[in-house]
Structure 1
Amino acid sequence: MQHNKYLKWLAVAATIGMLFILIGGALVTKTDSGLGCGRNWPDCNGSLIPQEITTAVLIEFSHRLVTGVVSFFIVALVVWTWLKLGHIKEVKFLGFNAVFFLVLQALIGAAQVLWGQGDFILALHFGISLISFTAVLLLALIVFEVDQKFDADKVFIDKKLKWNIIGVTIYSYLVVYTGALVRHTDASLVCPDWPLCRNNEPFSLPYNMYEWVQMGHRLAVLVIFIWIAIITWHVVKNYKEQRVIYWGWIIAFIIVILQIAAGMLVVLTKLNLIVALLHSLLISLLFGLFCYMILLVYRSNQNQK
C-alpha cells in the first residue's frame, strides 16, 4: 500500500509537471522569450546559471529548468509503472510515448534556439509536448485505477461512436496545430473582430496569409464544436447507464465552450497573457480527455471479445 501511495503522488507530480511544461512553452512563445538565453543551449548566455536576469531570461531559463526537473519525474513514473503495472498492456506503450515525445519536444526547442526553425515546424512543438502530457495523464489514470472506479470493464461503445471518437481526436490535433500556427506566425491579432475577421464585411475573403491562418483556425474550431455537440447529444441520449462515457462527453462539451470563449477573449483583450495561457490549458485538457476516450474504445473492444 505504501508503494501505491507514493506511486500516486509521483503520478500527480508528473502530470502537473507536464502541464507546467506545456504552459511554460506557451508562455515562452507568447512573450517572445525564446532567445532569452541567446543562441545557447543547454547553457544560458554562456553560463550554466544566467548572470544577468531579464524577464526574457527568467521565462526561458525557468522553462528549461522545469522541463529538466519534470523529466526526472516522468522517467521515474515510467520505470515504476513498468515494474508494478507492466501486466496492463497500455502501460508500456504509454510510457514509451511519454519519454519519446518529451525528448523530441526538447530537441525541437533546442534546435530552435541554436539554429532557428520555420513557423510551420515550430507549430509542431506544442503538439508534440501535448502527446507526452497525454501519455503521462493516462498513466496517472491507470495508477489511480480510474477504469475500475467507473466500471470500464463493462463499457460498450457502438461502432458509430467509436469512429466519431477516433475521428474527433485526430481532428482535434489538427485544431491544436492551427492554433499553434496562429501564435508562431504572429497572426493572433491580425483580425480585429470576432467571430469574423471584420464583422462589417461578412462576405469578404481574407486579405493575406496571416488572415487565412487566423480564419482557418476559427473555421476548424467551429467544425470541432459542432462535432462535439453532435457526439454529446448522441451520448446523452443513449449512454446514460455508462457514467464514464456520459459524463466524459458532457465535460468535453463544457471544455470546448470555455475554449471558444477564451479564444474570443484573446482577440478582444488584445492578447491578455492570462487568457492566452488559459486557452492553451483548456485545449490540453480537452485533448487529454479525448485520448482517454480512445482508451475506452480499446476497453470496449476487449470487452466485446
Structure 2
Amino acid sequence: MQYKVLKWLSYASCMIMLLVSFNGVVVTRTGSGLECGRQFPLCHGKFVPGTTIGSLIEYTHRLTAGIAGLLALATLVAFLIWARKRRDFQIYAAIMAFFVIVQAVMGALAVVFSQSPPIMALHFGFALIAFASALVLALSVRRAGSLERYQEPPAAQRVSKRTRNLTVFSAAFTYAVVYTGALVSHTQLAKMSIVLHIASALLLIFVLIVGHMAVRNYSHIPDIRKLGIIVIVLMIALPLSGILNLVALGSEYYMFAPMLHTLITDFLFAFLCFMSIRTWELSRIPAREETSVRVKKTAQA
C-alpha cells in the first residue's frame, strides 16, 4: 500500500512539473509575465484575477506553480516517512522539492523586481532540474517495484567508466546548452546565438555517441539499451523542433511549437540524468575477474 502511494505521488509530481513548464512557455510566448502587475501573490490587488487573457494566463501559472510546490513537499515528507530504506529515493525527492521552491521564489521575485536575463534563464534551468528530479524519482520507484534496500546487480551488467563519464558529461552539457538557449531567448544577442548553434551541434554528437554505445555495447542490459534508444530519438527530434519553433513565428502553430520544443528538451535532459544514475550504479559493480579473486581469497581464508 505504501509503495503504491509513493509511486503515484511520484507520477503526479512529474506531471505537475511538466504542466508548470508548459505554463511557463505560454507566459513567455504571450508576454503575460506582468499582466498582474508587479504584485505577488495578488493580481492587481485581488486574489481572483481580472477577465483579461493575459492575467488569466499569468495567474494560472502561479496557481500551478503553487500546487507543484505543495505536492513536492508532500512527496518529500511521504518518502522520508515510508521509504527509509531507500536513501536514493529520498535524495531525488529532496532535490525536486528544493528546486521547485527555489524556482517559484525566483518567479515571484521576477514579478516584484525586474531581473536580469541571466537570472531569468536560471529560473528556467531550475525548473528543468525540478522536472528531471521528478522523472528520475518516478522511473526509479517504478523500476524498483518495492521499498526494500537497493540490490546490487550481477557482474554481467557492469558498465564501463568511459560510458558512465560520457553519459554524465552529456547530461551536464545538455543543461549548459539549455541555459544558453534560455539566455538567448531573453537577450536576443547575435553572438550568443552563434555560440548556441555550435554548442547544439556538439551536443548532438555527444548524445548520439552515448546512445550508440548504449545500444551497441549493452544490448544485454535492457534498461540501458532502452535509454540509449530514447535519447537518440529525443536528440534527433530536438533540433527539428527548434527549426519548427523558428518557422512557426506568426503562424497558427505559434504556441504549439515552443511547447513541443520544451517537452523534448525536458525529457531529453531528464532521461540523460536517469541514464547517468543507472550507468553510475552499474559502473560500480566489480568485474567478474575481481569477483572471482575475492571468492578465492575468502575460500582460502
Question: So what's the TM-score if we normalise by structure 2?
Answer: 0.87
User: In 2, distance between residues paired with 1:87 and 1:106?
Assistant: 30
2:264 corresponding residue in structure 1? 282
User: In 1, distance between residues paired with 2:235 and 2:45?
Assistant: 43
- Relative distance call for 1:82 and 1:303 in structure 2 (3 A) is farther
CA contact (8 A) 2:99 2:129 kept: yes
User: In 2, distance between residues paired with 1:117 and 1:270?
Assistant: 26
- Relative distance call for 1:218 and 1:46 in structure 2 (3 A) is same
CA contact (8 A) 1:41 1:110 kept: yes
Could you tell me which of 142, 159, 179 is aligned with 1:177?
A: 179
User: In 1, distance between residues paired with 2:144 and 2:233?
Assistant: 21
User: In 1, distance between residues paired with 2:174 and 2:75?
Assistant: 27
1:100 corresponding residue in structure 2? 98
CA contact (8 A) 1:29 1:184 kept: no
Q: C-alpha deviations, 1:237-276, integer Å up to 9, x for none?
A: 2111111111101110100111110001111222621011
User: In 2, distance between residues paired with 1:164 and 1:171?
Assistant: 10
Could you tell me which of 240, 263, 273 is aligned with 1:291?
A: 273
How far off is 1:3 after superposition?
Answer: 3.1
CA contact (8 A) 1:29 1:183 kept: no
2:153 corresponding residue in structure 1? 153
CA contact (8 A) 1:166 1:294 kept: yes
- Relative distance call for 1:56 and 1:304 in structure 2 (3 A) is farther
For 1:245, the aligned partner's letter is I
How far off is 1:298 after superposition?
Answer: 3.1
For 1:19, the aligned partner's letter is L
1:238 corresponding residue in structure 2? 217
* Runs of 5+ unmatched residues, structure 1: 188-209
Q: C-alpha deviations, 1:36-84, integer Å up to 9, x for none?
A: 110000111111111x221211111000011112222221111112222
In the TM superposition, 1:1-305 aligns within 5 A as: 2-50=1-49, 52-146=50-144, 153-154=153-154, 155-185=157-187, 187=188, 210-270=189-249, 272-304=254-286
User: In 2, distance between residues paired with 1:22 and 1:146?
Assistant: 27
Paired residues in the alignment total 278
User: In 2, distance between residues paired with 1:247 and 1:294?
Assistant: 13
Q: In percent, how many aligned pairs have the same letter?
A: 31
CA contact (8 A) 1:165 1:293 kept: yes
For 1:165, the aligned partner's letter is T
How far off is 1:147 after superposition?
Answer: 7.8
User: In 2, distance between residues paired with 1:302 and 1:92?
Assistant: 21
CA contact (8 A) 1:152 1:296 kept: no
For 1:283, the aligned partner's letter is T
1:193 corresponding residue in structure 2? none
CA contact (8 A) 2:160 2:283 kept: no
The RMSD of aligned alpha carbons is 1.9
For 1:292, the aligned partner's letter is F
Question: So what's the TM-score if we normalise by structure 1?
Answer: 0.86
User: In 2, distance between residues paired with 1:166 and 1:17?
Assistant: 26
User: In 2, distance between residues paired with 1:82 and 1:93?
Assistant: 9
1:197 corresponding residue in structure 2? none
CA contact (8 A) 1:37 1:61 kept: yes
SS at match of 1:33: coil
CA contact (8 A) 2:2 2:82 kept: no
**Which has the larger Rg?**
2
